[in-house]
A and B are shown apart, each in its own frame.
Chain A
Amino acid sequence: MFVAVVSREIARPTVATTPGRTTGLDLALQIVAYVVLIVVALLMFIPFFFSLTTSIKTAPEASQVNTLTNLLWPDDPTLAAYREVFAADIGRWFFNSAFVAAIWVVGRAVADSMAGYAFARMQFPGRNLIFLMVLSTLMIPAMVTIIPKFILLERLNLLDTYGALTIPFLSSAFGIFLMKQFFESIPVELEEAARVDGASRYRMFVQIVLPNAMPALTALSIFSFQASWNAFLEPLLFITSPELRTLPLGLAYFQEAFNFNWPVSMAIAVITTLPMAIVFLIFQRYFVEGQTTSGIKG
Chain B
Amino acid sequence: MATLARPRRNRNPIAVEDRIAGWVFILPSLAIFVTFLFGPVLFAGYVSFFERDTLNTVNRFVGLDNYRQILRDDDFYLALRNTVWYSAGVVPAQTILGLFLAVLANRKIRGKTFFRTAFYFPSISSSIVIAVIFLWMYSGNGLINYVLESIGLPTPRPVWLANPKGIIEMGLEQFGVENVSDWLEGPSVALLSIMMLNIWTTMGTMMVIFLAGLQDVPGDVYEAAALDGASRWRMFRDITMPLIRPVTLFVVTLGIIGTFQVFDQIWLMSEGGPAKKTTTLAYLIYSEGFNFGGGLGYASALAMILFAIIFVLFLVQRRLNTDETR
Give A residues with C-beta under 8 Å from B.
Answer: 1-2, 4-5, 8-9, 12, 14-21, 25, 29-30, 32-34, 36-37, 40-41, 43-45, 47-48, 50-51, 54, 62-66, 71, 110-112, 114-115, 117-119, 121-125, 127-128, 130-135, 137, 139-152, 154, 167-171, 173, 176, 184, 195, 200-202, 205, 226, 229-230, 232-233, 236-237, 247-248, 251-252, 255-256, 262, 265-266, 269, 272-273, 276-277, 280-281, 284, 288
Contacts and interface: CB of A to CB of B under 8 A. Distances in A.
Pick the most buried of A8, A44, A277: most chain B CB atoms within 10 A of its CB: A44
A126 to B, nearest CB: 8
Interface stretch (B61-69, B84-92, B281-289): B281-289
B310 A139 contact: yes
A65 B32 contact: no
Given A1-B202, A134-B29, A37 B143 contact: no
Given A40-B101, A47-B137, A50-B143, A273 B296 contact: no
A147 to B, nearest CB: 5
A139 B43 contact: no
A131 B254 contact: no
B270 interface: no
B261 A147 contact: no
B296 A33 contact: no
A125 B35 contact: no
Query: Which applies to chain B's interface (DSSP): helix, strand, loop or mixed?
Result: helix
A37 B113 CA distance: 12
A200 B109 CA distance: 50
A131 B128 CA distance: 33
A137 B37 contact: yes
Interface residues of B, number: 117
A130 B202 contact: no
Given A2-B205, A232-B264, A276-B125, A135 B137 contact: no
B38 A133 contact: yes
A2 B134 contact: no
A122 B23 CA distance: 10
B264 A131 contact: no
Interface in B1-31: 1-7, 9, 14-15, 17-26, 28-30
B219 A18 contact: yes
A45 B29 contact: no
The 7 closest A-B pairs by CB, nearest first: A124-B22, A148-B40, A17-B219, A118-B25, A148-B43, A171-B29, A145-B40
A255 B134 CA distance: 13
Contact of A229 (B40, B101, B123, B126): B126
B186 interface: no
